[in-house]
Each structure stands twice: as structure tokens, then as C-alpha cells.
A and B are shown apart, each in its own frame.
Chain A
Amino acid sequence: MGNRRVSATVGLIAVAFPLIGAFAADPLPFGPETDPTAFCQAVDAAFERSDFDTLDATIKSARTLEARFSGGQTELEGLYRTLISGACPGYQMSRKDEVILGRVKKLEAWRARKSDPVAPAIILASLWDAYAWVARGDGYANQVPRDRWPIFFDRIKTASTYMQSIDPSIDPEAYSVLLELARDFNRPRAEIDAVFNAARHKFPTYFSYYKDYVTLLEPNWFGRPGDIPRFLQDLRTESNGETGAVAYAYAAEILTFHMAGPDVFRSTGLDWDEVQRTFQVREKAYGLSPEAWNALCYLAVVSGDRAKAREYYRHAAPHLTEWPRWPGGTTGDFYLRVLPWIMARDADLPGASDGPLSRGSN
């Protein structure tokens, strides 16, 4: 009888003070075998039912950066990608105004609870930035219609308001958003470097920084000749140890997709031996995603290293449920031109001596 009375009292308190429920919320389950799509769907479902307690608990737990998907992406990145875009792997973020603004409304409600000091603001900032790009389009600046620019700048201004009072050292994703905004506000290079250096210093194993930053060093963004090779050289210095090696592999992966071509090694300063070594370190530490295996396979093909290309393709093949994302070309290029070369055992096939992606091959 006494126990029942206690239970009833606790129940009443719980109903009267929902905050008690917040303390009790568990983070979403996560383990080394967690499937990114299933995790994304669980996060999205929690957001859809406005279960902010669970999201707060999950973000808090993920900020340790200890939990990662196979392939190296942190749980925190997975969380934020879902909460910003509302799209799971294989799908694109909706570009419809009503969908985006509906998301904004819900995020504002989460932010108003003040249950997490920064997460809803980070998501709102990133979502407004993405919304700005919806207005701008993905083309080069000179292809953007004039009437789109004011909308773009209004939206990135809105995005920046969310970041003004945030201490980025609380949450690794905050630096990523600051880098995005620095890019979109066309801030001086020194400022971009400062944000990246602070981010890297505070959260050296949040590897998306290296992909984002090396992208900004590309010639079509803020890069000057020699920037990328210098950055890669810095990452591979001994003092940076395993983290530097993994960061090199991440940077190499994104550069391979962005700057694919027969000259990819010359134009980026990537070194084939170093690529192999650093991807090996990365694989040992975190595993490699199918995209990473594809990038590695591509670089092996450009190097004319058929044995390695075959080995890397063997790793990627079981995960290719759809057409592979192949750097610098179509999937048709891969299957029609590259794969026969990779799988050949004789030396009399087209391009056999130096690979199908070498200069001069048709």
C-alpha cells in the first residue's frame, strides 16, 4: 500500500514537472555496428515527435566523439546531418520553403526550452545557411541570377545571428558552421585559417574539419598555389601522429572527388605512397566507407597500380548497392572503361601500361 502511494506521488510529480522526464531520457542507442540509415531514421523520428529530451541526451553523449560509425564518421556528425537536413543517407534535403520553414519552427521551439545551450542554435544556423544556398543554387557565382543574391545574404545573416552568442568549444559542430559562414560571408583568409586552427586544436579528431578546410583551399574557393600541398605536408609531419595521418586520408578523399583527373597527384600534391599509408592508418582506426574505398581505388587507377586498384575495389564492391560514386566521371566510365582494366590479368588491354585514366587515354 505504502509503495503504491509513493509511486502515485512520483507519477504526479512527473506529470506536473515534465523536466523530471528530461533528466530521465536515455540517448538513442548507438554502437559500432549501428547502421547510419537506421540511426538517421531514429533521430528523425525523435525530432518529428518533438522528443527533444532524447535528442538532448543523444547529443550530450555524442559530444565525447567516442562513438563513430564504421568508416569514421562520428555519431555527432550523423546526428547533426540528420537534424539539419531531415534527410537520411541516399536522399536529398527538401528544398521546399514550407518544409524548411516548418523545420525552423520546430527547432525554435526546441531552442526556447533552453535544455541544450547550443545544439538547436547550431542546427538553426546551419539550416538557414543551407536555405541560403537553396536560393542561390549550386552554380558558380557568375551564374547566379542577380535577384537571388539579396535572399542569399539575408538568410546567411539570419544564420549568423544564431552563432553570435555561442561558445564553439562546447560543441565540435559549431566550428564547422563557423567555417561555412566564413566561406559564405567571404571573410578574409586569415579569419578562415583562425577558425580552422582553433577547431583543429580543440577537437583534432572531428575529421570533417579537414575535409571542409581543404575544400576551402581549392583554387575555386580561397586557395593560392601551393596551399593544398603545404597543408597536406603539415598533416603528415610526425608530430601530428596518427591523427594527422587520418586527417590526411580524409583530405585526400575529398580532394580526389573534387579534383579528379589524370593530374590529380600533381595538382594536389598528394603522394601515392603516403595516400596508401594514411588510408591504412585510417582503416585500422575507424574502417573505411565505400566512398573512401572508391577514392582510394581511383587513385590506384590513376597511379597505374592495378593490383592495389583490384584490392580496393574488392573492398568497395560488396557495399555498392547502387551505382558507385566515381571521382571525376560517370558510373558508366567506371564500368565500361576502368573496371575491365582493374580486373584484367594480361598486359594487352587498352591502356594496360599506365591505366585507363592516364593522360592521352580516350
Chain B
Amino acid sequence: MTKTTRIRLLLLLNIFAVALLIVTTWISRAHQPYFMTVPRVTPDPAALLDPDAVSFCRDIRAGLAAGRYVQLDGTAADLRTLKEHAKGGVEKLVMFYVGLANPDCGSAPRCDDDALYQPRLRAIQDWLDRTPHDITAHVAMAQAWEAYAWAGRHCHKFKDVTFDEWQVFYDRVRISRSYLAGIDSAAEPMATLLQLEHLRDSGAGRAEIDAFYFASHNASPRFLALVALYATMLDPSWYGKDGDLGWLAESVLNNPGGEDGQIAYAIVASTESGQIPYPHLFLETGLTWARTKAGLDLIEKRYGNSNRDWNVDCYMALVAIDRPAALEYYRHFGQNWDPAIWNNADYFYGQALPWITYGQ
């Protein structure tokens, strides 16, 4: 074999080796499980929210800052019909008051620093100073003091709250209650919500809370935030006993019934999905995944979903061991996973995602 032939042979061998490497890499990538190809990212909290809701929140806060009180009153009056909903189904009336009271336009209350609420209290106080009998301003102040009360106990569960934090909490709840004195809750659904919270926070018994809920629900059977709030009170860590959540969810299938009832059913499950420890949501509460899913589909169709909503739906599908549904929901939010739902990146990327995308 001549030297030239040897060189040619070596060259050919090299080319073959490189080609083999490329082909094997391609094959191995093509057969790598999907979850292994997903890069870990830290989610952007803003991407979880409904952009329209954030924009709405900013508008009303700007209105408050600029003293456009008549305009705010007009907005509240329109929203009191409860016909306007944001993505996920929440009534815009609730978003209106929460937006005025919360330190920022994130959807969750701030528990880390109650001083953040003080500028909000001052801004609403300016409104009240100008129009002392304005119902909207009174309700906004009641909402702000209620949120401020919870921030005062750092949103802790019972056993972690100190004596002094309890005193702060109850004192602020008392002030919140005082702003609703004389307000006709029939004319202002948000006052109904706050009154139910006040009953819970002021030592009312279960019977009293039930009676208040039923009267309010009968008056406004499609008020989803009311159903959601009552559902939290039926959580076993509050007033609830086994089966109460399922019973509530079944009751809304009859009143308001129809598609509205199916939506309310899903709202009960969604609200409790973060409270009932895994995997008990559909095992011991009386809630069923089939009915929940039907309601979720209707919510999405009627109101649309934010990424946070898709996260919640995906988690519930996982709990219900419905992989196709979980995969479908996951595809909507993709990399915008919600740490509030999935706890941490290790759980989401290491356990949830491999299960959700199994076979992909």
C-alpha cells in the first residue's frame, strides 16, 4: 500500500467517524425524553399574570393617585353587576378593590412587610377625606385594612402567630369592620365578601357563617368569589369536616346550575387545590376530577386563562392522574411554571414534568 493510499484511507476513516458521531448524536437527541431537553428557567412572576388584569389594576391605581374619584365610582358601579370577569373567571369587581388595596398589582397579598400597605391606606384616606360618604371608598378601605390585618400576622397559620401579632391582627380586622358599618351589602357584592371574612376572623360559629353564605349566595348565585371564599372556610384547617367541599361543589351544580354551576364547581376545586395536601384533592373531599375538568373547560372557553390558571389546572390534572389533560395544560404555560403551585424547580423539572411529558 502506497503512502498516498494510506493517507486517503485514513481520511476516509476520519470522515466516516465524524459522520457516525453526527448520526449517533442526532439519534440520541431524537430519542432523549422531552423533559431532558427542557432547560431549567426561573419563571418571570409577571408572565404568570393576565396582562389585561395588570393593566386594569394599574389604571385604577393611577386613578386613585390622581384623585379621579368620580371615575373610580363609575367603574365600581359598572362592575357591581358582576358581569365582568377577568381570565380564570374572577369578577373584575374583586380585582378592582384588591388592586386599590394591595401594595402592587401582583395577584397575591403581600405578607412580608405590612408597612407596604400604609401608602395604600393613606391614598384611600385622601379619597374618604374628600367624599366621606362614598361607599366605594369605604369598601376599598375595609379591603385594605383586612389585607393589612393579614399582613400584620405575616399570613401565618394559627400556631405560628405570636400574641402581639394576634393583637395587631384583631385590631385591624376591627377597623376593617368599622368601614362597612351602614353599607347595604345587597348593593355592593364586595361588602358581602368582606363581611364573610369578618365573620371568620371575629369568632363566628359555623352555623352563623353558613347562614350568611346561603343568604348571600341565594341573592347572587353567580358570584364566583363568594363561592371561592366559602370553599376556603370549608377547608379542614378552618371550619370544614370531611365531605363539606364535595357537598358545596355539588350544591352549586344545582344553584346556579347549568354551565354557571359547572364553572363554580371548578372554582371550588381550584381554590382548594393549593390547600388540600397531595394527593387527597379528589380522594377524600368528595370532589371529582371529571366535573372539575368540565368546569375548567368552560372557564377557559368563556373567560380564558392566565398562565397561573393553566398551572393550577395542570397540577389538578396531575393529582387526578390525567396525563393527557396535564400535558395539554402544560403546553399552554410551558416555561412559565408557577413556584406557588409546584413548590420549587426540583419538583417541577425533576418530578412533575417527567410524568406530564412521559412518552413525548
- Asked whether B170 is an interface residue with its Cβ less than 8 Å from the other chain, the reply is yes
* In the bound complex, CA of A95 to CA of B169 (Å): 43
- Of A11-19, A98-106, A118-126, A333-341, the one with at least 4 CB within 8 A of chain B: A333-341
Give the nearest-CB partner of B233 in chain A.
Answer: A336
* In the bound complex, CA of A338 to CA of B166 (Å): 12
Count how many chain A residues have C-beta atoms less than 8 Å from C-beta atoms of the other chain: 28
Residues from chain B with a CB closer than 8 A to the CB of A349 are 202-203
- Do the beta carbons of B174 and A346 come within 8 Å of each other? yes
- Asked whether B162 is an interface residue with its Cβ less than 8 Å from the other chain, the reply is yes
- Do the beta carbons of B208 and A343 come within 8 Å of each other? no
CB of A287 to closest CB in B, whole Å: 18
- Do the beta carbons of A323 and B159 come within 8 Å of each other? yes
- Asked whether B167 is an interface residue with its Cβ less than 8 Å from the other chain, the reply is yes
CB of B116 to closest CB in A, whole Å: 24
* In the bound complex, CA of A317 to CA of B206 (Å): 25
- Do the beta carbons of A337 and B201 come within 8 Å of each other? no
Q: Which of A335, A337, A361 has the most CB of B within 10 A?
A: A335
* In the bound complex, CA of A346 to CA of B174 (Å): 8
- Asked whether A92 is an interface residue with its Cβ less than 8 Å from the other chain, the reply is no
- Do the beta carbons of A361 and B205 come within 8 Å of each other? yes
- Do the beta carbons of A340 and B202 come within 8 Å of each other? yes
- Asked whether A147 is an interface residue with its Cβ less than 8 Å from the other chain, the reply is no
Q: Which of B169, B205, B208, B239 has the most CB of A within 10 A?
A: B205
Partner of A350, one of B162, B167, B170, B203: B203
- Do the beta carbons of A338 and B203 come within 8 Å of each other? yes
Q: With A322-B159, A323-B159, A335-B158 given, is the CB distance from A343 to B166 under 8 Å?
A: yes
Give the nearest-CB partner of B178 in chain A.
Answer: A346
- Asked whether A145 is an interface residue with its Cβ less than 8 Å from the other chain, the reply is no
* In the bound complex, CA of A322 to CA of B157 (Å): 11
- Asked whether B204 is an interface residue with its Cβ less than 8 Å from the other chain, the reply is yes
A/B pair count, beta carbons within 8 Å: 57
* In the bound complex, CA of A321 to CA of B158 (Å): 11
Residues from chain A with a CB closer than 8 A to the CB of B238 are 332, 336
CB of A289 to closest CB in B, whole Å: 17
- Asked whether A345 is an interface residue with its Cβ less than 8 Å from the other chain, the reply is yes
- Do the beta carbons of B202 and A320 come within 8 Å of each other? no
- Do the beta carbons of B202 and A337 come within 8 Å of each other? no
Q: Which of B159, B169, B203, B205 has the most CB of A within 10 A?
A: B203
Which residues of chain A (262-319) have a CB below 8 Å from chain B? 313-314, 317-318
Q: With A336-B238, A340-B170, A343-B170 given, is the CB distance from A350 to B163 under 8 Å?
A: no
- Do the beta carbons of B166 and A339 come within 8 Å of each other? yes
CB of B77 to closest CB in A, whole Å: 30
Give the nearest-CB partner of A317 in chain B.
Answer: B163
CB of B199 to closest CB in A, whole Å: 8
CB of A262 to closest CB in B, whole Å: 14
CB of B145 to closest CB in A, whole Å: 15
Give the nearest-CB partner of B237 in chain A.
Answer: A332
Per-residue CB contact flags for chain B residues 177-216 toward chain A (1 = under 8 Å, else 0) read 0000000000000000000000011111111100000000
- Asked whether B44 is an interface residue with its Cβ less than 8 Å from the other chain, the reply is no
- Do the beta carbons of A350 and B202 come within 8 Å of each other? yes
CB of A347 to closest CB in B, whole Å: 11
Residues from chain A with a CB closer than 8 A to the CB of B158 are 323, 331, 335
CB of A332 to closest CB in B, whole Å: 8
- Asked whether A229 is an interface residue with its Cβ less than 8 Å from the other chain, the reply is no
Partner of A314, one of B163, B202, B206, B207: B163
- Asked whether B59 is an interface residue with its Cβ less than 8 Å from the other chain, the reply is no
* In the bound complex, CA of A332 to CA of B206 (Å): 11
- Asked whether B297 is an interface residue with its Cβ less than 8 Å from the other chain, the reply is no
CB of A90 to closest CB in B, whole Å: 14
- Do the beta carbons of B207 and A362 come within 8 Å of each other? yes
- Do the beta carbons of A340 and B201 come within 8 Å of each other? yes
- Asked whether A198 is an interface residue with its Cβ less than 8 Å from the other chain, the reply is no
- Asked whether A109 is an interface residue with its Cβ less than 8 Å from the other chain, the reply is no
* In the bound complex, CA of A3 to CA of B200 (Å): 79
- Asked whether B171 is an interface residue with its Cβ less than 8 Å from the other chain, the reply is yes
- Do the beta carbons of A313 and B205 come within 8 Å of each other? no
Residues from chain A with a CB closer than 8 A to the CB of B167 are 343
Q: Which of B169, B204, B207 has the most CB of A within 10 A?
A: B204
- Do the beta carbons of B159 and A320 come within 8 Å of each other? yes
- Asked whether A144 is an interface residue with its Cβ less than 8 Å from the other chain, the reply is no
CB of B151 to closest CB in A, whole Å: 17
Residues from chain B with a CB closer than 8 A to the CB of A10 are none
* In the bound complex, CA of A79 to CA of B170 (Å): 42
CB of A227 to closest CB in B, whole Å: 35
- Do the beta carbons of B170 and A362 come within 8 Å of each other? no
Partner of A356, one of B166, B169, B203, B206: B203
Residues from chain B with a CB closer than 8 A to the CB of A362 are 205-208
Q: Which of B163, B169, B174 has the most CB of A within 10 A?
A: B163
Give the nearest-CB partner of B157 in chain A.
Answer: A335
* In the bound complex, CA of A100 to CA of B278 (Å): 36
- Asked whether A344 is an interface residue with its Cβ less than 8 Å from the other chain, the reply is yes
CB of B169 to closest CB in A, whole Å: 8
CB of A274 to closest CB in B, whole Å: 27
Residues from chain B with a CB closer than 8 A to the CB of A338 are 203
Per-residue CB contact flags for chain A residues 85-114 toward chain B (1 = under 8 Å, else 0) read 000000000000000000000000000000
Residues from chain B with a CB closer than 8 A to the CB of A332 are 238-239
* In the bound complex, CA of A246 to CA of B204 (Å): 36
Residues from chain A with a CB closer than 8 A to the CB of B163 are 313-314, 317-318
Partner of A318, one of B162, B166, B170, B207: B162
- Do the beta carbons of A339 and B203 come within 8 Å of each other? yes
Q: With A345-B174, A346-B174, A362-B208 given, is the CB distance from A317 to B162 under 8 Å?
A: yes
Interchain residue pairs with CB less than 8 A apart (30): A317-B166, A320-B159, A322-B159, A324-B159, A332-B238, A332-B239, A335-B158, A336-B203, A336-B238, A337-B205, A338-B203, A339-B166, A340-B170, A340-B201, A340-B203, A341-B203, A343-B166, A343-B169, A343-B170, A344-B170, A344-B174, A345-B174, A349-B202, A349-B203, A350-B205, A350-B208, A361-B205, A362-B205, A362-B206, A362-B207
In the A-B complex, the 5 residue pairs with the closest CB atoms = A340-B203, A362-B205, A343-B170, A317-B163, A335-B158
Contacts A332-B238, A343-B170 supplied; 19 other A-B pairs, CB < 8 Å? A317-B162, A321-B159, A335-B158, A336-B203, A336-B238, A336-B239, A337-B203, A339-B203, A340-B170, A343-B166, A344-B170, A344-B174, A345-B171, A350-B202, A350-B205, A350-B208, A356-B203, A361-B205, A362-B208
